[in-house]
Structure 1
Amino acid sequence: MSDYTVNGDTQHVKRVHKAEFFVYFALIFSLALPLHVLGWSFQTIRHAKLPRLSPLTRAWKDARAVTPMIFRG
């Protein structure tokens, strides 16, 4: 006789709607962009040369890194 109670109640990953993900992504991106613009400008003035990454790229990378962390639970 088989025992189905052992693996009967497994947890499944809850999928998040793409719209909710993009709302959080846009919010994080919009909050990170001004901070990266300030940091980029100070770094440009301090070192007298342009940094390798633009503030837009840095804010995009931060939003791509932080947003999935919110939904991992």
Structure 2
Amino acid sequence: MSFSALTASLSILHLVVRKLHQFTYDLFIQAQSLQMRVNFPEMISEIVSVHVPKILSGMVKPILFHNTA
């Protein structure tokens, strides 16, 4: 696999990772609204509740490995 193909693959993964972030955030919010509250480890709670919304809102820019333009 050439370096160009590798970087193109890494850039394409951004779409998959964005969907994974959305799924994780939605699951976290649903779990917090249950009567039997789910206890997440503190570090996971901080990542999902603080950092994932920043990523989803576009406040954090992805690192693009391959220029598709």
TM-score bracket relative to the smaller structure: 0.3 to 0.5
Normalized against structure 1, the TM-score is what?
Answer: 0.42
Query: Normalising by structure 2, what TM-score?
Result: 0.43
Larger radius of gyration: 1
Bigger relative CO (Cα 8 Å, ≥ 6 apart): 2
